[in-house]
Structure 1
Amino acid sequence: MQNHPRLRRLASIGSRFLIVGGLSTLIEVGVFNLLVYVMGVDVVWAKIIASLVALVNAYIGNREWTFRHRDRRGRTSELVLFLLTNAACTGLGALLLWAGVEAAGNALGHAPGPVIVNVVNLASIAIVVVVRFVLYHSIVFRGAKPPPAGEAAAG
């Protein structure tokens, strides 16, 4: 079975995205746990703050490594799209965390402990990773648009 170049390219981009995301996740989980279990910050606020801290790594890693071959539409425009995408993804992650912690608390009859909170947090991260990749790939760091068919033949 022959590998298709587009599939190989997507796998390469996806692999780099997951490495950058893995590092960002370590940063996010570390900051989250520091805020919740050392500083006593509410889990939703800790999720939002930790996500924002991890964004710095995510932007630099994805712009300069994962999607380095993509067109640059202008740093400001790209950064605005990146921030809007991540604001939506941070909101989604916080909503998923809140819903998961609430559901776990209702099922247990008491507030969940650190293990359950972290499992819910990691599940929310996994869901958001898929959404983030689709948005980065199709909107934030999109590739160059191919020229219209007539122009390609004429050139």
Structure 2
Amino acid sequence: MSERGALRARLDLLAREVAKFGVVGAVGLVVNIVVSNLLWRYTDIPTVRAGLLATFVAILCNYVGFRYWTYRDRDKSGRTRELTLFLLFSAVGAVIETGVLYAATYGFGWNSPVQSNVFKILGIGIATLFRFWSYRTWVFKALPDAAEGLPDKEVVLSPEESVRPAQSVGDAAVSVPAPAPVPAPVVRAEADTARR
């Protein structure tokens, strides 16, 4: 596969991953906004605390979507580790998200329902960038490729080198050079008459 083809394949995979992450995130956004607004309207819970509670409800919904849809083909061997890291990075995202809402509410006094929703969504957007990076890098780890460690490019050999037929490993075909023949020792049959 050429470098351009490999780059295109990687970008296509990344685009699919971003799209799936976006769909799950959109569902989480709706859950987050709906729960926030219900808490703001029907309870006496302060704005920031209600927003934080809504964030944690959305985090639980998102975990299900990420594990069973977006990253369903990723490593599933360490669920305890995965869930621990997911909750840790989600908590950092919640701090980012809630920090924006907190700054708007208590720093600037912007706490009308419309302003609270605007800053809630802004905080979610900033936290989403962090979550995407951390989830794909640390939480839902990719399984190693079958052909990992093998060269992506075709090996070019000089005419003197003999080549075995291409061997197929996974989806990659690799040309493997045959061992170079060992040259026969040069035997000189010169008579050294001076020393005799």
TM-score of the superposition, structure 1-length normalised?
0.86
Instruction: Report if aligned partners of 2:52, 2:98 keep a CA contact under 8 Å in 1.
Output: yes
Unaligned runs of 5+ in 1: 106-110
Matching of residue 90 in structure 1 with residue 89 in structure 2: no
Find the partner of 2:77 among 73, 77, 90.
73
For 1:109-128, what per-residue CA distance to the aligned partner results, in whole angstroms no more than 9, with x for missing partners? Answer: xx531111110111001111
Q: How far apart are 1:103 and its partner, in Å?
A: 4.0
What's the counterpart of residue 132 of structure 1? 131
Please give the alpha-carbon distance, in whole angstroms, between the structure 1 residues aligned to 2:49 and 2:32. 13
Higher helix share: 1
* AA of the residue aligned to 2:81: S
For residues 7-41 of structure 1, what are the alpha-carbon distances to aligned partners after superposition, in whole Å with 9 as ceiling and x for unaligned?
11011011001100100110011111111121121
Give the equivalent residue in structure 2 for 1:113.
Answer: 112
Number of residue pairs the alignment of both structures matches:
147
Larger Rg: 2
Q: Which amino acid aligns with 2:89?
A: T
Distance 2:77 2:63 in 1: 15
The within-5 A match list for 1:1-155 is 4-105=8-109, 112-145=111-144, 149=149, 152=150
CA distance in 1, matches of 2:116, 2:56: 19
Gaps of 5+ in 2: 152-168, 170-196
Q: CA deviation at 1:145?
A: 4.1
TM-score w.r.t. length of structure 2:
0.69
1:54: how far off?
A: 1.0
Task: Please give the alpha-carbon distance, in whole angstroms, between the structure 2 residues aligned to 1:139 and 1:58.
Answer: 16
Q: What RMSD over aligned residues (CA atoms) do the two structures have, in Å?
A: 2.1
Identity %: 33
In 1: Cα distance, 2:56 partner to 2:128 partner: 15
Would you say the 8 A contact 2:97–2:123 is kept in 1?
Answer: yes
Instruction: Classify the secondary structure of the residue corresponding to 1:73.
Output: coil
Provide the rounded CA distance (Å) in 1 between the counterparts of 2:77 and 2:97: 28
The DSSP-based 3-state class of the residue aligned with 1:142 is coil
